[in-house]
Structure 1
Amino acid sequence: MPQDMPPSGGYEPVQYRRNLPVRGFRPAYYLLAVGVVCTYGFWRYGQGMRQQNELAREKMWSRIHLIPVLQAEEDRDLVRRALASQAMEKELLGAQTKVYNSDRFVRPTYAVIPTNVTK
């Protein structure tokens, strides 16, 4: 009996790997896309921080420029209260009394007392 020999041209190669189709893009493309998105995000974040810093600077300078106006309003209110207090004192006592032994101006302090406090 003749021995079996391989066919002419040889056997077909044995398939030992899975033949799965490649899905999606190459990993380098994903890495490039993530880099582009992160770069854009950091750029926008930097723009936002610049804008926030500019708004904070503008707010600070507006408050600095408002200080004299607010101080003038407080001084006017203080003078109005002092004159009203002197008028009330003169009306009640008939004369104006000196509280301090000095002519130096002492800034009065006022305490705001809530009206709904129970005693």
Structure 2
Amino acid sequence: MPQDMPPVGGYGPVQYKRNLPARGFRPAFYLLGTAVVMTLGFYKFGQGVREHNELAREKMWSRIHLIPALTAEEDRDQVRRYLADRAREKELLGTETQVYNSNRFVRPTFAVTPEK
């Protein structure tokens, strides 16, 4: 038997590398996309913070401008209560009594107590 010899011209090259196709984009594209999304997110976040601060400032100034109207309303309510108390006192006692020893006006204070 004759010994097997290589073919004339030799054997073809042996493929020892893995020939896998690249899946997806290159990592640089993913990095760039992430940077773009994060930049847009930070921009929108900054816009939201500015809008929130502007709304808070507007709310504060609206409350400041409402203080005189609310104070006047409270004063009218206290005068109404004061006159009603004096009328009730005169009806019960037949005369007006003086609580304090001076004629100086003392702003009344009302305490709200819970009902039992």
Specify the TM-score bucket, using the shorter chain as the normaliser.
0.7 to 0.9
CA displacement at 1:17 relative to structure 2: 2.3
State the partner residue of 2:53. 53
**What percentage of aligned pairs have identical amino acids?**
68
State the partner residue of 1:95. 95
Which gives a bigger RCO, structure 1 or 2 (Cα 8 Å, sep 6+)? Answer: 2
- After TM superposition, the score normalised by the length of structure 2 is 0.87
Going from structure 1 to structure 2, the CA distance change for 1:70 and 1:4 (only over 3 Å counts) comes to: same
AA partner of residue 102 (structure 1):
S
CA displacement at 1:109 relative to structure 2: 1.9
CA displacement at 1:113 relative to structure 2: 3.7
Distance 1:39 1:84 in 2: 66
CA displacement at 1:91 relative to structure 2: 1.0
CA displacement at 1:13 relative to structure 2: 3.3
CA displacement at 1:100 relative to structure 2: 1.1
The secondary structure found in structure 2 opposite 1:98 is coil
- After TM superposition, the score normalised by the length of structure 1 is 0.85
CA displacement at 1:12 relative to structure 2: 3.4
Of 25-34 and 12-21, more deviation after overlay is shown by: 12-21
Instruction: Give 5+ residue unaligned stretches, structure 2.
Output: none
State the partner residue of 1:36. 36
What are the residue-to-residue correspondences of 1:99-110 with 2, within 5 Å?
A: 99-110=99-110
Going from structure 1 to structure 2, the CA distance change for 1:3 and 1:20 (only over 3 Å counts) comes to: closer
